[in-house]
Amino acid sequence: MDFQVVVLAGGTCKKLLPLVSKDVPKALLPVANRPVLSYVLEQLELSNLKDLIVVVEGEDAALHVGGWISNAYVDRLHVEVAAVPEDVGTAGALRAIAHHLTANDILVVSGDLVSDIPPGALAAVHRQHDAVVTTMLCSAPVSGPTESGSSGGKDKIKKPRRYNIIGLDPSKQFLLHIATGAEVEKEIRIQKSILRAVDQMEIRADLMDAHMYAFKRSVLQEVLDEKDKFRSIKEDMLPYLVRSQMKSEVLLNGAPQAKNGNEKVSFQNNQAVVSQILANASTLSFHDLYASSNNGTALVRRIHKCCAYIASESRYCQRLNSIQAFSDINRDVIGDVSHLSGYSFSAHNNIIHPSAQIGSRTAVGPHCMLWEGSQMGDKCSVKRSVIGRHCRIGSNVKVVNSVIMNHVTIGDGCSIQGSVICSNAQLQERAVLKDCQVGAGFVVTAGSEHKGESLARK
């Protein structure tokens, strides 16, 4: 397909503390006992997009991510891992590695995306319309548990919220307006040139920018060079390209001169041009110069395409960008979207590794995972939870809607609900946790009770 792929894998995102650390960057956080980055890489491989640059914030994080990729994807993908400074933003990360970009089209995808939407579909739409940018949009997720009980996380979301305000043309192929971040709560302001050109616009507040974009490389590099203050693809670069997709110029003796954006133009002529464009979306005419004679002066409308690929509502699309999302995605991947896990589930709709050991009268319910080498004592109960490798769990332990990472020790009589327990942590007997996060190596003392707390070593 001649696409070059950039995977923005992040670093040690502060919003994910204490789950992330210098040893476990965001890209390696486990989803159903697999690094979250593996879900993006395998979708790219399935779409035959194998020439990748994985961009990681911080030298130490890049070494960890690079080491894992070398072991997991040897002879499968051609991957270059590039370290960039921390907190440069997504646009800053692209700017830092722009000199490595050589293909005509660049696919940029967030490394925290867990989805069954094929990236090749976005790439195909981008090529079909010869767009300067194509963005993937999907239904906004609803966070929270699917049954009674908590799903964990101090940043719990009770109901859907607006992620973006998006304007689409009647064919739902072209992106005409986008408001993100703080702009979502403000009045909607639409470019006059857009309104003149398209007499109908569909406004949507139920779609999420999935952080997967296809760019024409020449335009991408031009924006990165000229707009050196841009930090975010979503909040800076994409709105800029959408706003500037219809510009007017006057040609005087062959030399272009800028016209005021509020200049009155012939609506009928412009409507005819846009109708022709929309009817012939697969041609290059959208980038041609259109002119209408006016007393010897040609009004030229220079247009570039900003396209949208809207995924089917039946598809799954979530980003692991918060503690709540971490819990939600783990629950989903061992539940309703278990096809993403890559594992075969038992007749009881769970996964218990052959090397795991379970005591008498211990129940591991549906939508659960008990992984390699882990041991559970007698009379335990596990519901809708993921338990990692080589954990030692005593008797009479209850685990509900939780994620327990690797090498965790849990004493007798503990109760864990809606919580995340990081690797090498220890819960002493009769500890009670509800909606908590326990950092790596932390010891929760015997008989203590915690609710909605983040527990980590200082």
Residue 362 sits in a domain whose CATH number is 2.160.10.10
User: What contacts 64, CB < 8 A, 6 or more positions away?
Assistant: 23, 24, 25, 28
Task: Look up the pTM and report it.
Answer: 0.85
**Residue 272, domain member (yes or no):** no
Q: Are residues 424 and 312 in the same domain?
A: no
**Residue 219, domain member (yes or no):** yes
- 418-425 — which CB contacts under 8 Å span 24+ positions? 418/145, 418/149, 418/150, 418/151, 418/152, 418/153, 418/327, 419/152, 420/19, 420/152, 420/153, 420/323, 420/326, 420/327, 422/18, 422/19, 422/21, 422/24, 423/24, 423/388
Q: Are residues 210 and 132 in the same domain?
A: yes
Q: Are residues 311 and 356 in the same domain?
A: no
The reported pLDDT for the residue numbered 184 is 64
Q: Are residues 182 and 313 in the same domain?
A: yes
Q: Are residues 91 and 182 in the same domain?
A: yes
**Residue 351, domain member (yes or no):** yes
DSSP annotation of 408: -
Residues 77-107: pLDDT tens digits?
999 999 999 999 999 999 999 999 999 999 9
Q: What is the CATH number for 26?
A: 3.90.550.10
Looking at the structure of the chain, the number of domains it has is 2
Q: Is residue 423 within 8 Å of residue 405, measured between CB atoms?
A: yes
Q: Which domain holds residue 169?
A: 3-144+163-249+304-319
Considering the chain, what is the average pLDDT of its residues?
85
Q: Are residues 313 and 386 in the same domain?
A: no
Q: Which residue has the higher pLDDT, 364 or 182?
A: 364
Q: Are residues 233 and 93 in the same domain?
A: yes
Residues 410-452: pLDDT tens digits?
999 999 999 999 999 999 999 999 999 999 999 999 999 999 9
Residues 20-70: pLDDT tens digits?
998 999 999 999 999 999 999 999 999 999 999 999 999 999 999 999 999
